Amino acid sequence: MAPRPLKPNVAVIVVTHNSEALLSAFCHALPAALAGVVDSRVVLVDSGSWDSTATTASQREEIDHVVQLPANLGYAAGINAGMKVAPARAYLVLNPDVRLGPGSVRRLLDELKGDIGIAVPRLVDEHGELLLSLRRRPSLLRATGEALLGGRAGAVPALGETVRSQRAYRRRTLADWATGGAMLLSDECARGTGPWDESFFLYEEEVDYALRSQLAGFELRLVPEAIAVRTIGHAPPGDFVWTLSRINKVRLYSRSHSRAATIAFATVTLLGELLRIPLGGSRHRRAVLALLWPLTLLDEVLLRMRKSPEERNLSDWTRAGS
């Protein structure tokens, strides 16, 4: 018998929250996605679900280990918990709504060499339509461009974070960061960057991580041959989730900029929300209030986490996944 090839082993870390309905399709795609990968281990971290996600996951043969967190501690906390129980040469961080294509993990692994510490697949929706997942570093000018022009601003690199060029998604493209949901991290990158920042709870944690990985000397690259289907890729975020994303965006910017620059960034972000209120969005009204009085959002987070499942109205969180 020929010796088994020496290949990096992978820990697949999937973070769930009330995700039972997604598990069957997610698990069904795993064997083909992991083809060619030796010694993989799939760890599901359930973040305070009150459905049967953890029980169902423990019965799936594709899942090797289930970690149950005592509450919904956020996406970053789930990733950290999964990485802690499954040390590996590479970590594939996944949302449960992602369906990895055949051989995709092997293709991502092949990219982790030199200064490439993070490899991401090309994301598409259920109809095969490209999801624009590559992003540029946040800046005051880009925040201004997006406030005034919306998503179209990304067509001009200086004016928007979203990489909109179709060509960029057909080749190996370096990016400052990429939307969370499917990211392969080398162990060297994970050790150099440190744990995911759990203070973000949801949104901007992947931005923070990717930017910190750059400071540690690592780059993020898209691998177009690795395909992943994201089933809720076009689902609009709910009011609470959208508001949280706006607050976290300002928080992240503040960490590497002066107080004056942060005030300008927050003002531009506020302007963008104000301009969109007439278009009919309660989420923009709530974001305005939270940007003016950030503690109101913190109070809501704490209140929701204290309440029992029956008292909560977490449709926004459920829609967004983990």
Q: What is the mean pLDDT of each run of 10 residues along the chain (322 residues)?
A: 50 93 93 92 92 92 92 91 93 94 95 95 93 95 93 91 95 93 95 93 90 96 95 67 86 89 90 85 80 61 44 36 34
In contact, 255 and 209? CB cutoff 8 Å: no
Exposed, middle or buried by CB within 10 Å (0-12, 13-18, 19+), for 127?
exposed
Model pTM score: 0.85
Q: Is residue 133 part of a domain?
A: yes
In contact, 122 and 223? CB cutoff 8 Å: yes
Alpha-carbon distance 35 to 210, whole Å? 27
The DSSP call for residue 16 is: E
Residues 226 and 244 in one domain: no
Q: Is residue 5 part of a domain?
A: no
The full DSSP string for 114-176 is: TTEEEEEEEEE-TTSPBP--EE----HHHHHHHHHHGGGGGGSTTT-SB---GGGGSS-EEES
The domain boundary, picked from 230, 262, 293, lies at 230
Alpha-carbon distance 189 to 203, whole Å? 21
Residues 175 and 264 in one domain: no
- Written as six digits, the tokens of 232 are 């809720």
Residues 192 and 311 in one domain: no
Q: How many domains does the chain have?
A: 2
Q: How far, CA to CA in Å, does 175 sit from each of 22, 164, 179, 290, 291?
A: 29, 12, 11, 30, 28
CATH number, domain of 33, equals 3.90.550.10
Residues 166 and 192 in one domain: yes
Alpha-carbon distance 176 to 204, whole Å? 13
The domain boundary, picked from 209, 230, 251, lies at 230
Summarised one tens digit per residue, pLDDT across range 175-206 is 999 987 899 999 999 999 999 999 888 889 99
Q: What is the pLDDT of residue 234?
A: 55
Residues 86 and 65 in one domain: yes
Residues 64 and 90 in one domain: yes
Residues 218 and 247 in one domain: no
Residues 216 and 274 in one domain: no
Summarised one tens digit per residue, pLDDT across range 9-56 is 899 999 999 899 999 999 999 999 999 998 899 999 999 888 899 999
Residues 184 and 115 in one domain: yes
CA triple 77-199-179, angle to 5 deg: 70
Q: Is residue 29 part of a domain?
A: yes
Residues 190 and 62 in one domain: yes
Range of the domain at 268: 239-320
- Written as six digits, the tokens of 322 are 């983990």
